[in-house]
Amino acid sequence: MPVQRLNHAVLYVRDVEASVHFYHKALGFTTVTMMPGQAAFLRAAGSHNDHDLGLFQIGSGAQPSAAGRSEVGLYHLAWEVDTLGALSQIAETLGRMGALVGSTDHSTTKALYARDPDGLEFEVCWLVPADLLSEEVLAGRAELRPLDLDAEIARYGKERRGGIGVSSAS
């Protein structure tokens, strides 16, 4: 019985209140349960999950994650949005917050990369619907390119709903 999708993620953070504020403002999460100074459980807009993100406070003395630099560990989580308009709005918000660290056109996805208050990286992406994948992608010749979000909105439209899960033609 194969796994279908990620139900929720749990992160260790220095300050749970600061992280809750960040995820509310940056991605529109709402609080389901809050235990001040200890933990919080957040839900993404439109989600039917009990929670999508758990945050556990471990205190201000916690060292930064060395994952990917000197230790193995998780690189990032990717959150999907329904439209390029939503991706554009999140890009503006993350930029204003000083959290946006990059963006990439993966051909099958249009992605933003950001860091939360603890420096934990996450991705926010829009998936190209399978019926709109280019011949380049279908032939396995897709390349990573810089993301030009305005050009992608002109190409696909601001309100076109993205694919679901992995956008592939198969």
Same domain, 41 and 97: no
Say whether pLDDT at 131 is over 70.
yes
pLDDT of residue 94: 98
Specify if 64 maps to a domain: no
Tell which residue, 122, 71, 84, has the closest CA to residue 101. Answer: 122
pLDDT band at 115 (very low <50, low <70, confident <90, very high): very high
Q: CATH no. for residue 44?
A: 3.10.180.10
**Cβ proximity of 78 and 122 under 8 Å:** yes
**What DSSP string describes 118-139?**
T--EEEEEEEPPGGG--HHHHT
Q: Which tens digits make up the pLDDT trace of 50-85?
A: 999 999 999 999 999 989 989 999 999 999 999 999
Q: Residue 157: give the domain boundaries.
A: 75-161
**Helical H segments across the chain, by residue range:** 16-27, 84-97, 135-138, 149-156
pTM > 0.85: yes or no = yes
Q: What is the CA radius of gyration of the chain?
A: 17
pLDDT of amino acid 4: 73
Is pLDDT of 39 > 90?
A: yes
Rounded to 5°, angle at Cα 119 from 98 and 100 = 30
